[in-house]
Amino acid sequence: MSQSKVNIRNKKARFEYHLEDTFTAGMVLTGTEIKSIRNNKASILEAFCVFVNGEVFIRNMFINDYVNTSFFHHKPKGDRKLLLNKREINKIEKWLKDKGNTIIPTKVFINDKGWAKVEIATARGKKLYDKRDDLKAKDDKRDMDRALKQ
């Protein structure tokens, strides 16, 4: 199957959180949802993952309606189950026991077989001064690149 260029990213994730471990998980989707994802009609900017009854779900992931459907439409912001190994689920469950830890999606892509996958990361929220340090480092790097270019 040909690889389509699906580029759905959570750009704010690295700015808002300290990312620890990353996992790649499959998603349980309907036909119209996968077609919308292949057309880049999805967003994970407001999405987060929750742990319910030994399973991991992604919430607030927006998948726009597929335009060529007749009567069957999916919920744009419904919960979607993530497919992970038991070992990965146990590791995530232990991570969530500590206060302030969360799981956030960082990227949605289509693998070589044509299946939609989501990359999730275990994360801890940044403080305001950490965000300021990141912005300062980014500005310094930009200034150094400009100086080297001239």
Q: Does residue 55 register a pLDDT over 70?
A: yes
Give the CA distances from residue 50 to residues 22, 57, 122, in Å, rounded to whole numbers and listed in that order: 15, 5, 11
Backbone angles phi, psi at 72, to 5 degrees: -95, 115
CA–CA dist 96, 12 (Å, integer): 21
Model confidence band, residue 68 (pLDDT cutoffs 50, 70, 90)? confident
CA–CA dist 46, 16 (Å, integer): 12
DSSP structure string for 113-148 = TS-EEEEEEEEEEPPHHHHHHHHHHHHHHHHHHHHH
For the segment(s) 8-149, the CATH number from 3.40.50.300, 3.10.20.30, 2.40.50.140, 2.40.280.10 is 2.40.280.10
**Would you say 104 and 120 are in contact if contact means Cβ atoms under 8 Å apart?**
yes
Mean pLDDT, the chain, integer: 87
Q: What is the mean pLDDT of residues 10-18?
A: 86
Determine the pLDDT at residue 4.
58
SS3 state at 52: strand
Residue with tokens 């919430």: 59
Which residues face 49 on adjacent strands? 58
Helix (H) or strand (E) run with residue 42 in it: strand 42-43
Determine the pLDDT at residue 1.
45
Model confidence band, residue 150 (pLDDT cutoffs 50, 70, 90)? confident
Model confidence band, residue 2 (pLDDT cutoffs 50, 70, 90)? very low
